[in-house]
Structure 1
Amino acid sequence: MEMAEGDDEEFGFSRNYFLAKELDGSGKKSTRKLSDIDLVDEQELRAAASNLEPKHAKEVRELMNSYRSLYPKWLFELRCGFGLLMYGFGSKKALIEDFASTALTEYSVVVINGYLQSINIKQVLVALAEILCDQMKNKRSNTSGNMPKGQQPFNSKSVNDLLAFLDGPQVEENDCFICIIVHNIDGPGLRDSETQQILARLASCSHIRIVASIDHVNAPLLWDKKMVHTQFNWCWYHVPTFAAYKIEGTFFPLILTNGNTTQSAKTAALVLQSLTPNAQSVFRVLAEYQLSHPDEKEFKDHELVKTRRDTDGQDCLYIPLTAEALGKLLLEIGQ
């Protein structure tokens, strides 16, 4: 088979490219380390980041206006029982809150900030139940004048009882519902399996509608097919905003800053959150052993785990953190 002229040129270009890579030795592993970077103070870095001027303001405004034209469609889908899931580059916080303040004025709205480190999901359910109870009282008093019987305090009810109450029968076809805004439903305070199961059950309740955003590339792995198609019932929307994650980033340590003991532990904890439970268990065992044998190890750089040759010639792993930082790190990962 004869090769076309264009294909021949492309083949020659590819061959020369890889030959050049081979000659300049670029395939070798880089010797540069994170410790070689000239780190700065965290407050100085945050101040510099906050003073960055946004670019392409006109294009961003036009993009946001195009999303606002979708608000009636989004509201219709919520009323039909769907959930809205926003994804794409940039913070979706301002967009979702603008949608809520513009199109959801007739409904009660509860906001969950999933980018926070910890969230009490039971208290969220209690708050939702109290709001729904008040709405039902107002509706009954306006129609029949009969007030509902006194109920057991919601704080004393179980999660299952609260979900059952929120999934109660609707009296009318256009009955009221509560809309939940979840910024970063894949955030650190919500991404554990138990919380995601509760959120999925909550989203399927008759009196609940949900609008959420995701930013982690692996966020869809949090849900199985039933959760996606039956409980959350997502309508996916690609809505890149190119907005800075100013508020969301406030609660995470910056890696490229000079860190003290607490900062080092938080940064290491962020890395460990992305690992499997088995890998975290291995790291925990290593950290506990190192704390109990403080004279057997040395710390040389800022990497999370390093390998060194032991006295008997075997390779062993160690964590290059101080004993104080290791103790705080164990607290961060639940020990």
Structure 2
Amino acid sequence: MDINDMEDEDLGFSRNYFLAKESGTSAKKSWHKLSDIDLVPEEELRAVALDLKPKHEKEVKALMDSYRNLYQDWVFELRCGFGLLMYGFGSKKNLIEDFASTALTEYSVLVVNGYLQPVNIKQVLAAVADLFWDQIKAKRKTTGNLSNVQQPYNTKSTDDLFSFLDGSLAEENDSFVCVVIHNIDGPGLRDSDTQQSLARMAACSHVRVVASIDHVNASLLWDKKMVHTQFNWCCHHVPTFAPYKAETMFHPLILAHSGGSQTAKTAAIVLQSLTPNAQSVFKVLAEYQLAHPEEEGMAVNDLYTICRERFLVSSQVTLNSHLTEFKDHELVKTRKHSDGQDCLYVPLSTEAIQKVLMEISQ
């Protein structure tokens, strides 16, 4: 047999092999659909997941204790003007909050949950400015000399807030507000404008940022200037192997049916991250909706009147800031009343609203 005959035989064998595989796979093609799977309720699946017993508890505890030995080094890096960026497998939420509550007691701390829905950066800046203003008042309380510093809540633009936080107050050189950002790469913070605002805030002389990242492409959010000049990151590999309970609460489980109870739980977690006054404003609207189920919603003027009577808000501007926060997190929506006026309503079922009120009242 010559070489050409051997090549023809090999080609024929290969052709028959792939034809057989093709016919075999076509005969075994399944017509089942994903919708045919008997999925369990999402609440039940999450409950089972919460009951899973953690493994290697001793090793994890030893790992966390080793990180606590680094707290003073991290504080030193913050005082030197660096920002701390924590990465590694596992939730860093408890670790960072433990660091803030034990090692940053001399400074004001603001926590931003980046794993929530879109965050209002203007409100974050205003809150940081208010905290820094409180630091100034505490240090100058004995002298009473506050006339040469403008109160941040009197400002009307983000530029004014940035100027205040980047001011050159000689006696306040060692004072700063630490902004803790859980998941700075979260869905609500990934857009370019938000990252630019956060970087500009981090570059202020009286602001330090401690943030965590988990997304594999998180570094693509920043350019070289943002990394080395504005955020001025000092990166730390701190795997905790802790479950992402809070961070994944807002992501639907693939193998579960979503339900109203889970929606109520999500809304309650969002509300618990807001101020007590904001929670009380939401309670007013929710209780009104429960008491008047036949109505299309509550008029903004009526909500303002009740909230002002209960000393929950001092002005329409304050109420509007709360409503903006609610709308950003889709806790409250607006629709036209039959008389043409805009009215507010909570886009949840009666049962879900009752569960939310119970959660935030505990």
Shared topology, TM-score over 0.5?
A: yes
1:177 is the counterpart of 2:176:
yes
Aligned partner letter, 2:47 = A
Distance in 2 between the 1:180 and 1:187 partners?
16
Q: SS where residue 39 of structure 2 aligns?
A: coil
Q: Unpaired runs of 5+ in structure 1? A: 1-22, 264-330
* Cα distance change, pair 260–180 in 1 and its aligned pair in 2 (3 A): closer
Matches within 5 A, 1:129-148: 129-142=129-142, 144-148=143-147
Which residue pairs with 2:295 in the alignment?
none
Match of 2:125 in 1: 125
- Contact preservation (8 Å) 2:133, 2:151: no
1:92–1:145 CA distance, 2 compared to 1 (3 A):
same
Distance 1:254 1:179, change over 3 A: same
2:224 match: 225
1:114 corresponds to: 114
Distance 1:91 1:179 in 2: 20
Distance 2:230 2:82 in 1: 9
Please report how far the alpha carbon of residue 79 of structure 1 lies from its aligned counterpart in structure 2 after TM superposition.
Answer: 0.4
Larger helix share, 1 or 2: 2
Q: Write out per-residue CA displacement over residues 243-290 of structure 1, whole angstroms, 9 at most, x where no aligned residue.
A: 0111122122222212479x9xxxxxxxxxxxxxxxxxxxxxxxxxxx
SS at match of 1:164: helix
User: What amino acid does structure 2 have at the position aligned with 1:46?
Assistant: R
Contact 2:179 2:208 in 1 (8 A): yes
Deviations 1:33-59 (A, max 9, x none): 644543211111011011010000011
Distance 1:84 1:150 in 2: 29
The residue identity in structure 2 corresponding to 1:185 is I
1:198-249 deviation line (CA, Å, top 9, x unaligned) = 0000111000011000111111111111101110010111111110111122
Contact 2:126 2:152 in 1 (8 A): no
Shift of 1:164: 1.2
Query: How large is the Cα RMSD of the aligned pairs?
Result: 3.2
Cα distance in 1 for residues equivalent to 2:138 and 2:207:
18
**What is the Cα deviation at residue 108 of structure 1?**
0.6
Q: CA deviation at 1:149?
A: 4.8
Write the letter of the residue equivalent to 1:100: A
Contact 2:43 2:259 in 1 (8 A): no
The separation in 1 between residues aligned to 2:151 and 2:141, in whole angstroms, is: 20
1:1-335 mapped onto 2 (5 Å cutoff): 34-35=34-35, 37-142=37-142, 144-149=143-148, 151=150, 154=153, 156-172=155-171, 174-259=173-258
Q: Which amino acid aligns with 1:45?
A: L
Q: 1:153 to 1:181 in 2, by over 3 A?
A: closer
Offset at residue 173 of structure 1 (A)? 7.3
Residue 140 of structure 2 contacts residue 146 of structure 2 at CA under 8 Å; is this kept in 1?
yes
Q: Is the 8 A contact 1:170 1:206 kept in 2?
A: no
Report SS of the residue matched to 1:111: strand
User: 2 CA distance for matches of 1:149 and 1:155?
Assistant: 14
CA–CA distance in structure 2, aligned partners of residues 111 and 189 of structure 1? 15
Amino acid at match of 1:191: R
The 3 A distance-change label for structure 1 pair 229 and 208 is same
Cα distance in 2 between the residues matched to 1:48 and 1:24: 42
Q: Distance in 1 between matches of 2:163 and 2:190?
A: 23
Q: TM-score normalised to the size of structure 1?
A: 0.66
Structure 1 CA distance for aligned equivalents of residues 212 and 100 of structure 2: 13
Question: Which residue pairs with 1:300 in the alignment?
Answer: none
Give the match's secondary structure for 1:130: helix
Give the % identical residues.
Answer: 68
Query: What letter matches 2:80 in structure 1?
Result: C
| Structure 2 unmatched runs, 5+ | 1-19, 263-329, 331-362
Count residues with an aligned counterpart: 245
Q: Is contact 2:40–2:256 with CA below 8 Å preserved after alignment?
A: yes
TM-score, normalized by length of structure 2? 0.61
